Copies of this chain bind each other. A is one copy, B any other.
């Protein structure tokens, strides 16, 4: 296959309710096969719209993914649309049907026509069993085009890609000329980054740069077919950015920090106010984080800062709960109280309320403490509540990394 497109079906994707992650997941799986995802078209649960989108895609590329619209309800239309486009007939897949029957049996649910419907597949399709849901995947090779139908729920979509679909595509694909890629995760403002790399980022020298912003910082991507050339440019990027590159590849900052903690046999505890547990959630998002993360205190109310984190009352009264002094003390005390090597503290004003002239919404102090040292940094983020929480947790992890690296 040369190139792919995705048709994401589902009215919920176009009415403000659901954010679709399918294009992101799919692109990650297609990259190793050297198949670019050229377009993601999101259409509502409407037969005509799905029909047009699939037809248009099949004229541009030779690999067409269609997600969603395979469930039990009356607004699930993908099956019938594909039948109209590709011919054949709808037949029950025995494995899927049996799986649904057993599910109904186990859970005491009725084995209804609606539920059975989920086992209907195109007669000419190669069926890929779904290990985590009712709807199987379908792979149809027709007139040189490969159509792949997948259920909409993200866990089933991902499961089927990882268990059957990608392996099958790889076997269809055979050997492919690989595109050489280097990824750098950088914690730095995009503008500065672009300036810093101006000398290296030279269009049309065979290596393409792309920059992608996130609460994780900026991802710099190099692409090229000449591996040696890509390596050479990558070397220059490392030279220019140095330690501001916190990872190469898709590693997250919490994974990097976790690795450093483990390498040092160190442990970590967190004290969070405005982030409300988001920092702990990110740290524990890394499998195996229990090896170094002991836990934390969500000190949302001042009483908690006082009574459970033992932050002195006069410190809060003198400087305020949102202050460098309190952030530092939170980090120190949570470290002691959890008997950890490192302690982290975050206090700030996530808004929308609670801001003042002197202490505006977005003001955040992050702190990291280890034996004999406490570092605190002050930030003002001009963002909304959830973004302030996310970027605060990120900056705290950046500070922890610096200390772990002994910078």
Contact residues of A with B, CB < 8 Å?
Answer: 10-21, 23-29, 31, 36-45, 49, 53, 71-75, 109-110, 112, 114-115, 132, 152-153, 155, 158, 190-192, 194-195, 198, 201, 203, 208-214, 219, 221, 270, 272, 274-281, 283-285, 287-290, 293-301, 303-304, 308, 337-339, 350-353, 382-387, 389
Contact = CB atoms under 8 A, between A and B. Distances in A.
Contact of A277 (B132, B274, B298): B298
Contact of A74 (B20, B201, B213, B289): B201
Contact of A44 (B38, B44, B49): B38
Contacts of A20: 19, 23
A190 B298 contact: no
A385 B12 CA distance: 25
A308 B284 contact: no
A110 B198 CA distance: 13
Contacts of A337: 308
Given A21-B19, A24-B19, A281 B276 contact: yes
A387 B41 contact: no
Contacts of A299: 295
Contact of A210 (B12, B36, B201): B12
A272 B289 CA distance: 15
B42 A72 contact: no
B293 A300 contact: yes
B39 A192 contact: no
A382 B304 CA distance: 36
A298 to B, nearest CB: 4
A384 B25 CA distance: 14
A74 B201 CA distance: 9
A338 B21 contact: no
A338 B110 contact: no
Contacts of A338: 304, 308
Contacts of A191: 72, 109, 114-115
Contact of A212 (B12, B211, B285, B385): B12
A283 B155 CA distance: 24
Given A43-B39, A213-B153, A283-B276, A304 B298 contact: no
A20 B288 CA distance: 29
Contacts of A270: 277, 298
Contacts of A74: 201, 203, 209
Contacts of A114: 191, 194-195, 198
A358 B158 CA distance: 27
19 contacts: A14-B37, A17-B221, A19-B19, A19-B24, A38-B44, A39-B43, A72-B191, A72-B194, A74-B201, A74-B203, A114-B195, A158-B384, A276-B283, A276-B289, A278-B280, A294-B301, A295-B308, A296-B297, A297-B297
Nearest to A337: B308
A16 B41 contact: no
A300 B290 contact: yes
Contact of A25 (B16, B36, B383): B16
Contact of A110 (B28, B195, B211): B195
Contacts of A25: 16
Nearest first, the 9 closest Cβ-Cβ pairs linking A and B are: A276-B284, A277-B280, A277-B277, A16-B28, A12-B212, A16-B27, A295-B300, A40-B42, A296-B298
Contacts of A110: 195
A331 to B, nearest CB: 15
A246 to B, nearest CB: 16
A300 B284 contact: yes
A352 B287 contact: yes
B16 A389 contact: no
